[in-house]
Structure 1
Amino acid sequence: MDYVAELRKKVGHLPLILPGAVVIAFNKQNQVLLQHRKDGGWGLPGGLMELGESLEETAKREVKEETGLEIAGLKLLGIFSGQEFHYKLPNGDELYSVTAVFQTNQIAGKLVPDLSESQELRFF
Structure 2
Amino acid sequence: MEYYKYLRQYVGQKPIILPGSVVIILNEKSEVLLQKRHDGNWGLPGGLMDLGESFEEVAKREVFEETGLVVENLKLLNVYSGSQYYLKVSNGDELYSVTAVYYTSNASGEIKIDYTESERMQYFGMDNLPEKLTSEYREFIVHYIERENSAKIR
TM-score (norm 2): 0.79
Q: Which residue of 1 aligns with 2:99?
A: 99
Q: Quote the offset at 1:28 in angstroms.
A: 1.4
Stretches of structure 2 lacking an aligned partner (at least 5 in a row) = 125-154
Q: Which residue of 2 aligns with 1:68?
A: 68
Structure 1 distance, partners of 2:123, 2:93, is: 32
Measured against aligned partners, the alpha-carbon deviations of 1:52-108 in whole angstroms (never above 9, x if no partner) come to: 000000000000000000000000000111111000111110000000000000000
1:50-61 matches, cutoff 5 A: 50-61=50-61
Measured against aligned partners, the alpha-carbon deviations of 1:23-75 in whole angstroms (never above 9, x if no partner) come to: 00001121110000112100110010000000000000000000000000000
Q: Quote the offset at 1:113 in angstroms.
A: 0.7
Q: Which one has more relative contact order, counting CA pairs under 8 Å at least 6 apart?
A: 1
Q: Report which of the two has the higher share of helix.
A: 2
Structure 1 runs (4+) deviating above 3 angstroms are: none
Q: CA RMSD in A?
A: 0.7
User: What's the secondary structure of 1:7's corresponding residue?
Assistant: helix
Aligned residues: 124
User: What's the secondary structure of 1:118's corresponding residue?
Assistant: coil
Structure 2 distance, partners of 1:38, 1:46, is: 15
Structure 1 distance, partners of 2:90, 2:27, is: 34
Q: Which residue of 2 aligns with 1:21?
A: 21
Q: Report which of the two has the higher share of strand.
A: 1
Q: Which residue of 1 aligns with 2:118?
A: 118
TM-score (norm 1): 0.98
Q: Which residue of 2 aligns with 1:3?
A: 3
The one-letter amino acid of 2:10's match is: K
Stretches of structure 1 lacking an aligned partner (at least 5 in a row) = none
The one-letter amino acid of 2:14's match is: L
Structure 2 distance, partners of 1:29, 1:87, is: 33
